[in-house]
Amino acid sequence: MAEYKLTTPLGEDDVRKLKTGDSVSLSGVIYTARDSAHKRLVEMLERGEKLPFDLDGSVIYYVGPAPAPPGKPIGSAGPTTSYRMDAYSPILIANGQRGMIGKGARGDNVVEAMMKYGAVYFAATGGAAALIAKSIKEAEVIAFPELMSEAVRRLVVEDFPLIVAQDANGGNMFKEGVEKYRRD
């Protein structure tokens, strides 16, 4: 397994070199969005409307962060289960999104889009929400404030620790890990 330091926006070359199990330290701007926000983003695309952020090279973190304590940009920010975004992710990937951060395996439709367009799915460590929040240096709501914790936020991250869970070449740690440790 390799280790990489990447900065957003991500290019197709950045993503295609990554392999399942690689460690990534991600810096730059990422966005938060969960299922309600994903639905709205896809509806905006379908209507031909401009999105609140540029999808090209973007990374979306599936999180509904806790309120920020005094002096901090954000509260605990642990990943949420990703399959709830599976209906929307292929459309966003086809429009330029390069990365997703969450927990749990992705559906075949997402994997197909990742392979076709060059995108990657990163796993953030569940249960480490306070630790993850230390990598978030700035947080600003940029769309759908009425969704409260699920609003779209622009985050500036520094050395956000991630693992490549599913890569653009069809690698899948959820399948490979089970096979590796299976006892027949």
Answer whether 148's CB lies under 8 Å from 34's CB: no
| Active centre residues (catalytic) | 38
| Cβ proximity of 60 and 30 under 8 Å | yes
Residue 108 Cα distances to 29, 33, 139, angstroms: 28, 21, 32
**If you write DSSP's letter for every residue of 15-81 in order, what string do you get?**
HHT--TT-EEEEEEEEEE--HHHHHHHHHHHHTTPPPSS--TT-EEE---PPPPPTT-S-S-----B
Letter string b/e over residues 28-51, b meaning 16 or more CB atoms within 10 A of that residue's CB? bbbbbbbbbbbebbbeebeeeeeb
Q: Are strands 152-166 and 120-123 parallel, antiparallel or unpaired?
A: antiparallel
